[in-house]
């Protein structure tokens, strides 16, 4: 998609589309949901909407437990019967993610919905404690690892209830405007992830954020191709351009959001719609609360090659850097199955 077409499409949908809340007849009694990045912004609004539909248990997965407790108190006012729990989760720590997933595996009698929404946006290069570039670590690697680690409790519940679990990954249409040269031809013949971790690959501005969302789309497709939709439905979504503290590091985006951005409530509705509705969305991309096509690049032969390469690199990285993570059949690396 050309830059011109991308921005025309963006502005058109921002100005003409109105996100709908979940229908009143969608009731989530008995179900458990995990929402990452849920103390503020779209994640908070999505968690609150899920709780308001009679969700039995809500896990607020947050980096700062104090902020999580504040979010819990506010959500409890609209959903007093929901068992709301605050669990600490740091996507810049392999140990934190493994401990979180182990807690979910051992303490939850069921897990129905996993909404992987945590992320960040920065305009300058930042290295995470894991030694990966921050967008790569939090937006991509952290999301990818959690999606693998939480499959077991989702599958277990699906087989008990006869209803597939759900994994929804918050991406963005900005992924279609990412600099694909960085994944097509990493400099020096290095791996995709190694190149993106290299400060020389970083262009100041939002391009790395956009690229991290492209990686999320590739991961969604690769993971879905390796899962049975009768066990777990995996999808990804674009919540649109939303008013949020997320843009506080980007004055230009923050200013523009005052004129045509969705509210955080409207943005959160996109998340809940993707996480609860659309049972036929396995491996799909949703935008404006409907299934839409991925970009031509993602669907191309070159895109499929990047998807396979990224999957192999990511699994190899988890085996090396996080050997305590039990990722089951996915630890085998390469797979002949792909979309």
Of 213, 241, 244, 285, which one is the catalytic site residue? Answer: 213
Distance of alpha carbon 91 from alpha carbon 98, whole angstroms? 10
| Length in residues, the chain | 339
Residue 243 CA, chain-centre distance (Å), reads: 18
Of 140, 209, 241, 285, which one is the catalytic site residue? Answer: 209
Distance of alpha carbon 240 from alpha carbon 257, whole angstroms? 11
Pairing between strand 290-292 and 284-287?
A: antiparallel
Closest CA relative to residue 134, chosen from 122, 144, 116, 118: 122
Closest CA relative to residue 129, chosen from 161, 158, 99, 91: 91
Of 38, 93, 147, 172, which one is the catalytic site residue? Answer: 172
Q: Is 225 a catalytic residue?
A: no
DSSP 20: P
Distance of alpha carbon 46 from alpha carbon 44, whole angstroms? 5
Name every residue whose Cβ is closer than 8 Å to that of residue 269 and which is 6 or more positions away in sequence. Answer: 19, 20, 21, 22, 45, 46, 49, 289
Q: Is 172 a catalytic residue?
A: yes
User: 274 phi and psi, to 5 degrees?
Assistant: -70, -35
Say if CB 268 and CB 280 are below 8 A apart.
no
Residues recognised as catalytic: 172, 209, 213
């Amino acid at each position: 998609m050309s830059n011109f077409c991308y921005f025309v499409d963006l502005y058109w949908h921002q100005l003409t589309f109105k996100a709908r809340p979940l229908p009143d007849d969608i009731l989530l009694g008995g179900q458990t949901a995990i929402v990452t990045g849920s103390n503020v912004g779209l994640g908070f609004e999505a968690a609150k909407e899920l709780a308001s539909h009679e969700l039995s248990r809500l896990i607020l997965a947050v980096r700062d437990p104090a902020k999580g407790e504040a979010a819990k108190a506010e959500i409890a006012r609209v959903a007093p019967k929901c068992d709301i729990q605050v669990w600490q989760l740091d996507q810049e720590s392999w140990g934190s993610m493994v401990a979180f997933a182990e807690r979910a595996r051992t303490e939850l009698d069921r897990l129905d919905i996993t909404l992987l929404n945590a992320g960040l946006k920065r305009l300058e290069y930042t290295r995470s404690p894991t030694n990966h570039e921050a967008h790569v670590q939090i937006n991509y690697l952290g999301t990818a690892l959690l999606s693998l680690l939480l499959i077991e409790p989702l599958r277990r519940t699906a087989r008990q209830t006869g209803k597939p679990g759900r994994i929804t990954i918050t991406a963005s249409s900005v992924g279609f405007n990412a600099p694909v040269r960085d994944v097509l031809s990493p400099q020096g013949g290095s791996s995709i992830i190694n190149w993106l971790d290299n400060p020389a690959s970083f262009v100041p501005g939002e391009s790395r954020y956009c690229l991290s969302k492209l990686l999320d789309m590739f991961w969604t497709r690769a993971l879905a191709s390796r899962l049975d939709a009768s066990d777990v439905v995996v999808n990804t979504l674009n919540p649109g351009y939303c008013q949020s503290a997320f843009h506080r590091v980007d004055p230009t985006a923050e200013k523009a959001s005052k004129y045509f951005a969705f509210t955080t409530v409207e943005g959160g509705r996109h998340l809940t719609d993707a996480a609860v509705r659309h049972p036929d969305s396995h491996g799909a991309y949703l935008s404006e609360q409907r299934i839409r096509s991925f970009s031509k690049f993602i669907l191309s032969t070159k895109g499929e090659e990047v998807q396979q390469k990224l999957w192999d690199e990511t699994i190899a990285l988890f085996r090396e850097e996080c050997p305590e993570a039990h990722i089951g059949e996915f630890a085998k690396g390469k797979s002949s199955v792909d979309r």
